[in-house]
Amino acid sequence: MGVLENKRILLIVPGGIAAYKSLELARQLRGAGARVRAILTEAGAKFVTPLSLGAITGEKVYSDLFSLTDENEMGHIRLAREADLVVVSPATADILAKMVQGLASDLATTALLATDKPVLVAPAMNVRMWEHAATRANMETLVGRGIMVVGPGEGDLACGEEGVGRLAEVDDILAAIVGFFAARAPLRGRRAIVTSGPTFEPVDPVRFIGNRSSGKQGHAIAAALADLGARTTLISGPVAEPDPAGVQITRIETALEMRAAVKQALPADVAVMVAAVADWRVKAPAAEKIKKGGPGVRRLDLVENPDILAEISRPGNARPALVIGFAADTEDVVANGEAKRKAKGCDWILANDVSEGSGVFGGSDNTVHLIRPDGTEDWPAMAKPAVAARLAEAIASHFTDAP
């Protein structure tokens, strides 16, 4: 596995003589496992062709803000956000100034304005341009906004002068990118198990007992843990959610299958049980479809399913160091959550209100309370991916702070 496996990089190539080096950068990024999408500006296309950049990235190269085809395939907002990191190389004086001003005059600058992702720039320009008070002030502003900078280096410049302004070596740009992801991966080397979605308990070959869990929250948590570097196994019931990137997924239908999959995924450092597991299953599902008028249709004989969260929380060698459960309740959410934490023996509970009108089941927002042995945090209503990111950060801090 490459060090940048599953990382998505949006590479913006403006027009500068060093643009040709972006081909080598793209090649090395892909070699390290990253997925690279490129935006080539009009000026950039004077130095490298969309064809060569496309061949190296293995993806369509984007350049025209107003191309309807491009907009149909992918809006510029999506292009700007479906990345883990945006890299501008070579960052010309012109694009740096546009970034400072917040101009959106072409696809590259629009993506830079629209992105909510970290941005790394590799400046390259003539030494006078680099040393000009305007560029100095622009760099100060960009650094102040949290933009990362690699280079420029010193030496012979394409214009014949000598000094600071050379694009950083491709190896150094790559090292900066790898370093950025490593710093953001506090859970590297840790293993995580996440359960998600509902379970379906068969009644007969076509019917089942299920529930309305969408898997949105569980899938987002698996993605957030993987994002922080954890080797994550997601065990999911039937859901319509797409598979999160960078996660190993095991699909199951019943609670018994989920329990077996969890056991198989052990050992793990952290387990987050988000699935809405059916409490009951039909004792003897019919082998053939039950007919409307046939016998035995009025009653379903149910048996209790194993409590997977309680089982994995039991002390023993295989117990993950941190076990987190979910408590979905309609009243006394925190008190019931705390009682559930103790009853099930898990370490933390994320308690949420699923009463009618909360819109949690299948909805995109969640209001949760993080219940830990030393107290409860009430989190504001957040989108489910934001809840996931905050939980993943809390898990990472737990392991970083643990002796």
- Rounded distance between C-alpha atoms, residue 131 and residue 125, angstroms: 10
Q: Where would I find the beta strands (DSSP E) of 65-129? A: 85-91, 119-123
3-class DSSP state of 12: strand
| CB-facing half-sphere around the CA of 206: CA atoms within 13 A | 4
Which region, judged by CB under 6 A, interacts with ligand CTP, from 21-29, 113-121, 306-314, 377-385? 306-314
- Does residue 159 carry a catalytic annotation? yes
As a whole number of Å, the end-to-end CA separation of the chain is: 30
Annotate each residue in 195-214 with x if it binds ligand CTP (CB under 6 A) or - if it does not, as one string.
x-------------------
Q: Please, which residue, 135 or 196, has the CB nearer to ligand CTP?
A: 196
Q: Which residues does 226 contact at the CB level (< 8 Å), separation at least 6? A: 6, 192, 232, 244, 245, 246, 247
Q: Please, which residue, 24 or 279, has the CB nearer to ligand CTP?
A: 279
Question: Of these, 93, 177, 223, 327, which contacts ligand CTP (CB under 6 A)?
Answer: 327
Catalytic residue among 77, 134, 137, 159: 159
Q: Is 279 in the site for ligand CTP (CB under 6 A)?
A: yes
Q: Are 228 and 268 in contact (CB under 8 A)?
A: no
Question: Of these, 261, 308, 360, 388, which contacts ligand CTP (CB under 6 A)?
Answer: 308
Annotate each residue in 158-197 with x if it binds ligand CTP (CB under 6 A) or - if it does not, as one string.
-------------------------------------x--
Number of residues in contact with ligand CTP under rule CB under 6 A: 15
Angle at 46 between CA 43 and CA 49, to 5 degrees: 115
Q: Are 255 and 199 in contact (CB under 8 A)?
A: yes
Question: Of these, 22, 305, 313, 352, which contacts ligand CTP (CB under 6 A)?
Answer: 305
Q: Which among 121, 118, 41, 62 is positioned nearest to 89, based on CA atoms?
A: 121
Which region, judged by CB under 6 A, interacts with ligand CTP, from 86-94, 108-116, 293-301, 304-312? 304-312
Q: Is 359 left (phi over 0), alpha (psi -120 to 50) or beta?
A: left
Neighbours of 378 (CB within 10 A): 11
Q: In the chain, how many H helices and how many E strands?
A: 14, 22
Pairing relationship of beta strands 368-372 and 375-378 according to DSSP bridges: antiparallel
Annotate each residue in 338-377 with x if it binds ligand CTP (CB under 6 A) or - if it does not, as one string.
----------------------------------------
Where b means 16+ CB within 10 Å and e means fewer, 184-193 reads bbbbeebbbb
Q: Is 255 in the site for ligand CTP (CB under 6 A)?
A: yes
Q: Please, which residue, 39 or 328, has the CB nearer to ligand CTP?
A: 328
Q: Is 273 in the site for ligand CTP (CB under 6 A)?
A: yes
Report, in Å, the least distance between residue 326 CB and ligand CTP.
Answer: 4
Q: Is 326 in the site for ligand CTP (CB under 6 A)?
A: yes
Question: Of these, 277, 282, 360, 370, which contacts ligand CTP (CB under 6 A)?
Answer: 277
Question: Of these, 23, 125, 223, 309, which contacts ligand CTP (CB under 6 A)?
Answer: 309
Report, in Å, the least distance between residue 98 CB and ligand CTP.
Answer: 48
Q: Is 333 in the site for ligand CTP (CB under 6 A)?
A: no
Cα separation values, 295 from 60, 207, 231, 267, 333, Å: 60, 16, 49, 46, 42
Where on the chain is the footprint of ligand CTP (CB under 6 A)? 195, 255, 273-275, 277, 279, 305, 307-309, 325-328
Mind telling me the catalytic residues? 159
